[in-house]
């Protein structure tokens, strides 16, 4: 999983906070602005209603009420009024009778008559936003317009109501424009804060951190301290100083660590060399006990090493095969002398006993955790397996046989045929080559046979170097 950078984390969290704050602030401002807008349009509607009431009172006192409709139409053209209705209260109807000019009182108007309080119905979400204001017309003798001169009612009686509807499109447009300005301003501020934060992270965190990493590596390589004065923040300056202390301790102990590692490597090499010599000596002991041809162990080891190299195995595999091959017949230590040294042909029972030596060798070696002895266990167990599956002890075939076992199998038989044993004479080289070629693909791995035949001169040279009359002790195993 790809982890986010400091810049990404900082920006995402900052933007989340700022956006939430902007939304909350916008909601609060929008709500308060809406309330303010409502108060403004209510005040405007109230002012217009007062003008209408004053005009109507003046018309009544001047006895020109027949000009009322002209007056109301003029008012509508000046103040964005969509509709004006004058509704008489029951007290006026009782005095003057029901007029056909006034609109019948609805539920809202009746409520105004009862409460003597104005009612406002604001629709600011419609296609054409509007406010309906129903204002009570209350009789009073206060001021210059004395209603009681015309009406036979008591002070505070509701004479009627002015029902006006105002178009408030301009207020909604103004509110929308202001909210848009607010939104743009908020986003601009958020953007500026984000840019400034990113720059701060880049300049004061990311760049100094990358610079500190480079300087720390250079300080370790060159053994020179990091110049902490180059950092602008106290945190990075302290980190640089800590790195200098850390590097100083490491450098002070570096030579000691190198010497200890060198000593450990030398000790490990000595252990490996001792193990190889011990393994080789064990192979020679088995060779002497089995009365094999002299230097058989040495030659099998060198043949196996050459085959592994020509096959293209890794240096480690070549080393393991060369070190482990001497123990290929270690299991013969568990075979009775009467069978091991019998000059004639073995009986079926004796041959079955002889076939146990791979399993005996494996049992002797398989408990070790050392790579050399693990390889030796494989070789001891599988060097009598055949390519076609007719070998023993398991009848493994082809690549089921470990490459270590296939290599030593060919090296062992090749040397055995060329050597004189107590039960046979040495074969001529040409006969050995012919027989090995014939057994390619049945007894032996065809690729290994091809390597042997193609490089026969090198194998012959090994045989000459370690022949039965040369102990080969001047050559490392």
**Residue 49, domain member (yes or no):** yes
**Most confident of the following: 82-91, 173-182, 193-202, 372-381:** 372-381
**Residue 420, domain member (yes or no):** yes
Question: Do residue 166 and residue 299 come from a single domain?
Answer: no
Q: Is the pLDDT of residue 283 over 70?
A: no
**Residue 109, domain member (yes or no):** yes
Residue 391 pLDDT:
95
Residue 222 pLDDT:
76
CATH number (domain holding residue 134)? 3.30.450.20
Task: Write out pLDDT tens, residues 206-229.
Answer: 788 888 888 878 877 777 787 777
- Averaged pLDDT of the chain: 80
Given a contact cutoff of 8 angstroms between Cβ atoms, the answer to whether 239 and 216 are in contact is no
Residue 424 pLDDT:
78
**Residue 369, domain member (yes or no):** yes
Question: Do residue 145 and residue 283 come from a single domain?
Answer: no
Question: Do residue 172 and residue 314 come from a single domain?
Answer: no
**Residue 417, domain member (yes or no):** yes
Q: Is the pLDDT of residue 386 over 90?
A: yes
**Total structural domains within the chain:** 2
Residue at which a domain ends, from 157, 176, 195 = 176
The verdict on pTM exceeding 0.85 is: no
Question: Do residue 276 and residue 130 come from a single domain?
Answer: no
Residue at which a domain ends, from 176, 207, 230 = 176
Residue 266 pLDDT:
78
Given a contact cutoff of 8 angstroms between Cβ atoms, the answer to whether 436 and 410 are in contact is yes
Task: Write out pLDDT tens, residues 132-181.
Answer: 888 887 777 765 555 555 666 677 787 778 888 888 777 778 877 887 88
Torsion sign across C-alpha atoms 149, 153, 156, 159 = negative
**Residue 334, domain member (yes or no):** yes
Question: Do residue 154 and residue 284 come from a single domain?
Answer: no
CATH number (domain holding residue 441)? 1.10.3210.10
Given a contact cutoff of 8 angstroms between Cβ atoms, the answer to whether 157 and 114 are in contact is no
Distances (CA, A) of 45 to 40, 52, 80, 216, 454: 9, 10, 10, 76, 115
**Residue 134, domain member (yes or no):** yes
Nearest to 411 by CA among 319, 354, 290, 326: 326
Residue at which a domain ends, from 176, 209, 228 = 176
**Residue 439, domain member (yes or no):** yes
Domain of residue 359: give its range. Answer: 267-465
Nearest to 361 by CA among 282, 277, 417: 282
Residue 477 pLDDT:
38
């Amino acid at each position: 999983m790809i982890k986010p950078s400091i810049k990404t984390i900082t920006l995402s969290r900052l933007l989340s906070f700022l956006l939430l704050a902007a939304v909350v602030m916008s909601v609060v401002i929008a709500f308060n602005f809406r309330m303010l807008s409502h108060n403004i349009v209510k005040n405007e509607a109230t002012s217009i209603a007062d003008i209408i009431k004053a005009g109507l009172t003046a018309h009544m006192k001047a006895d020109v009420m027949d000009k009322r409709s002209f007056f109301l139409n003029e008012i509508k053209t000046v103040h964005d009024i969509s509709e004006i209705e004058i509704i008489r209260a029951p007290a006026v109807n009782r005095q003057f009778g029901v007029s056909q000019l006034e609109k019948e009182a609805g539920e809202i108007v009746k409520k105004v008559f009862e409460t003597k309080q104005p009612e406002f119905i604001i629709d600011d979400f419609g296609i054409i936003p509007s406010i309906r204001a129903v204002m009570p017309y209350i009789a009073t003798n206060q001021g210059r317009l004395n209603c009681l001169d015309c009406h036979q009612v008591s002070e505070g009686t509701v004479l009627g109501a002015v029902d006006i509807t105002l178009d408030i499109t301009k207020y909604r447009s103004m509110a929308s424009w202001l909210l848009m300005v607010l939104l743009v301003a908020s986003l601009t501020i958020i953007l500026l804060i984000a840019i400034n934060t990113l720059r701060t992270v880049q300049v004061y965190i990311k760049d100094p951190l990358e610079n500190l990493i480079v300087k720390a590596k250079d300080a370790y390589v060159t053994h020179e301290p990091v110049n902490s004065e180059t950092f602008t923040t106290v945190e990075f300056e302290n980190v640089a100083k800590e790195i200098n202390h850390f590097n100083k301790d490491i450098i002070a102990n570096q030579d000691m660590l190198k010497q200890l590692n060198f000593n450990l490597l030398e000790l490990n090499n000595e252990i490996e060399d001792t193990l190889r010599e011990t393994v080789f000596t064990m192979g020679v002991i088995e060779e002497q006990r089995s009365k094999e041809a002299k230097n058989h162990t040495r030659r099998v080891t060198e043949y196996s090493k050459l085959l592994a190299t020509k096959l293209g195995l890794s240096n480690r595999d070549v080393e393991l095969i060369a070190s482990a091959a001497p123990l290929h017949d270690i299991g013969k230590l568990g075979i009775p002398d009467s069978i091991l040294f019998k000059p004639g042909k073995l009986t079926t029972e004796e041959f079955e006993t002889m076939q146990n030596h791979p399993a005996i060798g494996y049992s002797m070696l398989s408990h070790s955790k050392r790579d050399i002895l693990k390889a030796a266990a494989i070789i001891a167990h599988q060097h009598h397996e055949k390519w076609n599956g007719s070998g023993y002890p398991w009848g493994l075939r082809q690549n089921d046989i470990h490459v270590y076992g296939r290599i030593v199998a060919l090296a062992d038989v090749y040397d055995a045929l060329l050597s004189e044993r107590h039960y046979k004479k040495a074969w001529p080289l040409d006969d050995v080559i012919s027989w090995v070629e014939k057994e390619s693909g049945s007894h032996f791995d065809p690729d290994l046979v091809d390597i042997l035949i193609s490089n026969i001169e090198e194998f012959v040279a090994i045989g000459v170097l370690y022949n039965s009359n040369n102990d080969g002790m001047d050559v490392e195993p």
